[in-house]
Amino acid sequence: MSDQSIAFVRHETLPPSPPPASETGIVKWMRENLFSSVTNSILTLAALYGIYSILSGSMPWILGGIWQAPSLQACREILAGDSAGCFAVLTERWHQLIFGFKYPQEAYWRPTLAFVLLIVAVAPVLFANLPRRMLILTGLYPFIGFWLIWGGTIMAPLMGLVGFIVAYMVFQRLERSSFAMGALGGLVAAIIFWTLGGYVSDAMSGFLALEQIPSRDMGGFMLNIILGTVCVSLSLPIGILLALGRQSNMPIIKIICVVFIEFIRGVPLITLLFVANVVLAYFLPPGTTFDLILRVIIMITMFSSAYIAEVIRGGLAALPRGQYEAGDSLGLDYAQSMRLIILPQALKISIPGIVNVAVGLFKDTTLVSVISMFDLVGMIRGPILASTEWNGVYWELFGFASLLFFIICYGISQYSQWLERQLATDHR
Amino acid sequence: MTSINDPKPESFQLSQLINDTRYRSYTFQFVALIVLFFLVGYLYLNLVENLRTAGLDISYEFLGEPAGYDINQRLVEYNSQSSHWRASVVGVLNTLLVAFVGCILATIFGVTAGVLRLSNNWIVAKLMAVYVEIFRNVPVLIWILIINAIFLIALPQPKAFKSRGGNPPEAEMLWDSFAFTGRGIYAPKPVFETGSWVVVVVFILSIIGMFAYRRYTKLALYAHGRDLPRGWPSLAILFVPAILVYFVMGSPIGLEYPELKGFNFKGGIWARGSFVALTFALAIYTGAFIAENVRAGILAISKGQTEAAAALGIRPGRIMSLVILPQALRVIIPPMISNFLNLTKNSSLAIAVGYMDITGTLGGITLNQTGRAIEAILLLMAFYLAISLGISAIMNVYNNSIKLKER
């Protein structure tokens, strides 16, 4: 026996060995997420094949597209039998797609400027951390935007603005006696002022005047944006009133609101547009000529306000009963408790729903092409596809239209999700 | 000398109508009623005045006059000598057809996409998310036009199915029975000969029998704890008697296959291109919304339910069907019904692809031919309103029946 000790004691710990290759990094991720079972593996392979076939079909078509050509024939000649997109239709008809085919070319800067200002004006409403002073521009925007797009003297929108200010001042004066008196007084004051202001702006029709552009000349994507913005912003206050009316305990007012909301929600928008197109004129005083675009705005606003009213009613119903009782016990009257306690909370709950309605409404503005207005879809189906140069260019044009709508609608819905996270004051 | 008088009994003063909350609501309602009355009166007087100057009146007699136009897609007998009323009925049936088929397809698309979006397969979940976002964020009108263009342009014309001079044809029929062409889809049509009713009756009885058997297995499970097999006996009950009777009766139900005659297909069922495109577009668009509802419904069931069921030893498939789905359906179904309603209302966009639904017949050609705008649009709205209110009434009954019974 040897007296040499064979015992071995390690003095330092072993360095940790790396995890097996199948349990780390991308391999593990793929095993867990793509190939966790036989069914999953088959699904993954099928999905990959689907993606590959779509991309391999569409990428050469998109990347090899022709961007400069006067017509489809010329484009096909350049392509010489290759299969690729003729995006030249977009560059050649760009102005028509955006502004319609009648809007005067030298005035394109006006809607463009109005669009830029729209972004600036909407920004402080969307993002609470921007300086609050920018809200002044938001308040002024409807009048500036109207002046820029429709033209005419600046006196008309100016009088409109001053009318609102007068109405607000009268309202503040009378509000102390009661909210209803204040609202009524403000309304009367505004109507009186606008009637008088009409004469003033008629007399000064040359003052700071832009070339007047009738609204039947508007078209293209501009029309979609105008309809969407105007109708959403008008339908929000009307929707709130309708929702309050539906929740009210005055039976007659409640019945009026319920009938209106259920009627509008029960019929398709297209029938309302038919009403705007052919029927509405019968209900107006004989001899009134009423702009088609204005009639459409009225009908779409009615349509969306009914939907918004239902969303806000949901918000009102979701508030605990205690909030209403707390308002009463503080001695606030109906208008005060609604304005100070109920509506701020109810509107906050309803934001996702309201944004959904707004996105839906913006998409629905394409329906005006059915009553032969030339919005983006109307321009594509009408003047562009019917022209001799571009007869048969479907995919490029509809792809472009889908892309425009997708970017805006997806952007809005992402914003709404972000806002929901911002407004979530509870802890989970 | 002073005397203390009782406070005067409150007499009603006119100012109370405005200042006293007890009476103020009456004032408001009275004012609202007056305003509404004057508004309606004003509109009505304008209408009467306008109709008088235009030399028109309100009458529905035009519905009885011959329509004078043709409708290519019809479910009931109709020709150009039929009345406008008949044309409207054809339109109503076409609308209902699109709505019915569209709702079924949309449910299939939506449930598949919604469930797959929750799959633990990353790439499938992402693909479904892309599908949902793309279809939800682009107007349905654009989808209808795109899908219609795909059917018109990308699918071969019937003449492409013809072999010319020995060359094989450019396009082939699927299983020799289905043809997907730019003019629509042709499919085999069942032909019922004498004696076929026996097979049909036996098949209906088998369906009833299958449900009875499943009910029996459930009872056996709950009452006696016997777990009887369900899958293959149900299938056997469903098909075996019908197939036996089918051969005993001498194959009374045949199929009529579409055949290429000249430049077009004859025979079989022909679903027109416009109908197929419209239905498919509406279904895939609405399916994206339904997918979101299904996903939300499944996510709304807390994980504890799954875990509790697993702890009780229930198999994963049974967990879904016995524990999760019954609870999720309560969340899923109400918004799903309103999506079906939206699909029905959106089917009025048929006018964009030339499918003759009620908006195309009554609100389109009839309106233009007779000039009876008010009457036609009123009827049109009444039709859609009736459908909407009817379905919401059914939905309310359903909602009440599945409401959580709280005590």
CB within 8 Å: B33 and A265: no
For residue B120, the 8-state DSSP code is S
Under the banding of pLDDT at 50, 70 and 90, the label for residue B164 is low
CB within 8 Å: A33 and B141: no
**Distance to chain B for A163, nearest Cα, Å:** 23
CB within 8 Å: B21 and A285: no
Burial of B360 (0-12, 13-18, 19+ CB in 10 A): buried
Pick from A395, A407, A410: nearest CA to A90: A395
pLDDT in tens, A114-172: 899 888 888 888 887 878 888 888 888 888 888 888 877 777 788 888 888 888 888 88
Rounded CA-CA distance B254/B56 in Å is: 56
Q: Measure CB to CB from residue A410 to each of B53, B133, B140 and give the nearest one.
A: B133
Under the banding of pLDDT at 50, 70 and 90, the label for residue B386 is very high
Rounded CA-CA distance A117/B394 in Å is: 48
Mean predicted confidence (pLDDT) in B75-96? 83
Rounded CA-CA distance A160/A167 in Å is: 11
The pTM score is 0.84
Asked if residue B6 has pLDDT above 70, the reply is no
Under the banding of pLDDT at 50, 70 and 90, the label for residue B10 is low
- Other Cβ atoms closer than 10 A to B260: 18
Residues with Cβ within 8 Å of A278's Cβ and at least 6 positions away in sequence, in order, are B367, B373, B377
Asked if residue B1 has pLDDT above 60, the reply is no
Asked if residue A425 has pLDDT above 80, the reply is no
pLDDT in tens, A85-117: 788 888 888 888 888 888 888 888 888 888 998
Burial of B389 (0-12, 13-18, 19+ CB in 10 A): middle
Over pLDDT 70: what percentage of chain A? 97
DSSP string, B364-384: IIIHHHH--HHHHHHHHHHHH
Specify the pairing of strand B253-256 against strand B259-261.
unpaired
Residues with Cβ within 8 Å of B26's Cβ and at least 6 positions away in sequence, in order, are B17
Q: By three-state DSSP, how is residue A41 classified? A: helix
> What's the pLDDT score for residue A2?
53
Q: Structure tokens of A428?
A: 């989970």
CB within 8 Å: A253 and B136: no
Q: Measure CB to CB from residue B46 to each of A249, A285, A369 and give the nearest one.
A: A285
Asked if residue A305 has pLDDT above 90, the reply is yes
Rounded CA-CA distance A314/A324 in Å is: 15
CB within 8 Å: B28 and A249: no
**Torsion angles phi and psi, residue A330, rounded to 5:** -80, -5
Query: Which residues in B lie closer than 8 A to residue A48 (C-beta atoms)?
Result: 123
CB within 8 Å: B142 and A366: yes
Q: Measure CB to CB from residue A253 to each of B28, B138, B388 and give the nearest one.
A: B28
Element (H, E) at A123: helix A109-126
Rounded CA-CA distance B24/A229 in Å is: 37
- CA–CA distances in Å: residue B109 to residues A83, A421, B290: 31, 30, 8
Query: Which residues in A lie closer than 8 A to residue B32 (C-beta atoms)?
Result: 252-253, 256
Residues in chain B: 407
DSSP string, A173-241: HHHTT-HHHHHHHHHHHHHHHHHHHHHHHHHTTTTTPBPP--GGG--HHHHHHHHHHHHHHHHHHHHHH
Asked if residue B277 has pLDDT above 80, the reply is yes
Mean predicted confidence (pLDDT) in B121-149? 90
Interface test with A, best of B128, B138, B357 (most A CBs within 10 A): B138
pLDDT higher at B309 or B22: B309
> What's the pLDDT score for residue A352?
83
> What's the pLDDT score for residue B267?
66
Rounded CA-CA distance B351/B274 in Å is: 10
Residues in chain A: 428
Nearest CA in chain B to A400: B142
Q: By three-state DSSP, how is residue A375 classified? A: strand
> Please, what sign has the CA dihedral across residues B9, B15, B18, B23?
positive
CB within 8 Å: B137 and A406: yes
Nearest CA in chain A to B391: A266
Rounded CA-CA distance A377/A386 in Å is: 13
Q: Structure tokens of A287?
A: 């001899």
Rounded CA-CA distance A79/B346 in Å is: 39
CB within 8 Å: A284 and B46: yes
Rounded CA-CA distance A173/A177 in Å is: 9
pLDDT in tens, B39-64: 999 988 888 888 888 777 777 777 77
**Distance to chain A for B250, nearest Cα, Å:** 42
50-109 in chain B: CB under 8 A from chain A: 50-51, 53
CB within 8 Å: B50 and A286: yes
Among A108-112, A119-123, A180-184, A300-304, which stretch is predicted with the lowest mean pLDDT? A180-184
Asked if residue B329 has pLDDT above 70, the reply is yes
Rounded CA-CA distance B342/B288 in Å is: 13
Name beta bridge partners: B174.
B178
Nearest CA in chain A to B341: A266
Asked if residue B163 has pLDDT above 70, the reply is no
Pick from B149, B112, B357, B230: nearest CA to A395: B149
**Distance to chain B for A405, nearest Cα, Å:** 6
Q: By three-state DSSP, how is residue B189 classified? A: strand
Q: Measure CB to CB from residue A43 to each of B47, B124, B145 and give the nearest one.
A: B124
- Other Cβ atoms closer than 10 A to A14: 6
pLDDT higher at B50 or A410: A410
> What's the pLDDT score for residue A234?
92
Q: Structure tokens of B300?
A: 């709304």
SS3 content of chain A, % helix, strand, coil (to 5): 75, 0, 25
Asked if residue B271 has pLDDT above 90, the reply is no
Rg (CA), chain B: 30
Asked if residue B312 has pLDDT above 80, the reply is yes
Over pLDDT 70: what percentage of chain B? 85
Q: Which long-range contacts (CB under 8 A, 24 or more apart) does B197-201 make?
A: B198/B245, B198/B249, B198/B252, B199/B242, B199/B245, B199/B246, B199/B249, B199/B252, B199/B253
Burial of B357 (0-12, 13-18, 19+ CB in 10 A): buried
Q: Measure CB to CB from residue A409 to each of B137, B141, B363 and give the nearest one.
A: B137
2-61 in chain B: CB under 8 A from chain A: 18-19, 21, 25, 28-29, 32-33, 36, 43, 46-47, 49-51, 53
CB within 8 Å: B349 and A36: no
**Distance to chain B for A150, nearest Cα, Å:** 27
Rounded CA-CA distance A375/B325 in Å is: 44
pLDDT higher at B141 or A140: B141
Mean pLDDT of chain B: 81
Asked if residue B105 has pLDDT above 70, the reply is yes
pLDDT higher at B36 or A292: B36
CB within 8 Å: B153 and A394: yes
Angle between helices A394-423 and B122-136 (to 10 degrees): 100
CB within 8 Å: B46 and A34: no
> What's the pLDDT score for residue B8?
63
Q: Dihedral angle at the C-alpha atoms of B289, B291, B294, B297, nearest 10 degrees?
A: -60
Mean predicted confidence (pLDDT) in B112-117? 88
Angle between helices A251-266 and B373-402 (to 10 degrees): 100
Over pLDDT 90: what percentage of chain A? 18
Q: Are A336 and A326 in contact (CB under 8 A)?
A: no
Nearest CA in chain B to A285: B46
Query: Which residues in A lie closer than 8 A to residue B28 (C-beta atoms)?
Result: 180, 250, 253
> What's the pLDDT score for residue A304?
93
Among A164-173, A222-231, B176-185, which stretch is predicted with the lowest mean pLDDT? B176-185
> What's the pLDDT score for residue B167?
62
> What's the pLDDT score for residue B262?
65
Rounded CA-CA distance B180/B172 in Å is: 9
Asked if residue A1 has pLDDT above 60, the reply is no
Under the banding of pLDDT at 50, 70 and 90, the label for residue A348 is confident
3-state secondary structure B235-290: HHHHHHHHHHHHHHCCCCEEEECCEEECCEEECCEEEEHHHHHHHHHHHHHHHHHH
> What's the pLDDT score for residue A211?
79
Q: By three-state DSSP, how is residue B187 classified? A: strand
Asked if residue B219 has pLDDT above 90, the reply is no
Under the banding of pLDDT at 50, 70 and 90, the label for residue A197 is confident
Pick from A90, A369, A91, A109: nearest CA to A213: A109
Pick from B168, B389, B160: nearest CA to B264: B160
Range picked from A35-49, A61-75, B238-252 for highest mean pLDDT: A35-49
Q: Structure tokens of A150?
A: 């429709």
327-356 in chain B: CB under 8 A from chain A: 345-346, 348-349, 351-352
Mean predicted confidence (pLDDT) in A32-36? 79
Rounded CA-CA distance B245/A343 in Å is: 68
Rounded CA-CA distance A122/A118 in Å is: 6
Rounded CA-CA distance A338/A323 in Å is: 10
Among A217-226, B72-81, B143-152, which stretch is predicted with the lowest mean pLDDT? B72-81
CB within 8 Å: B380 and A284: no
> What's the pLDDT score for residue A224?
92
Under the banding of pLDDT at 50, 70 and 90, the label for residue A312 is very high
116-145 in chain B: CB under 8 A from chain A: 119-124, 127, 133-134, 136-142, 145
Q: Are B288 and B131 in contact (CB under 8 A)?
A: yes
Its ipTM equals 0.87
Rounded CA-CA distance A4/B392 in Å is: 94
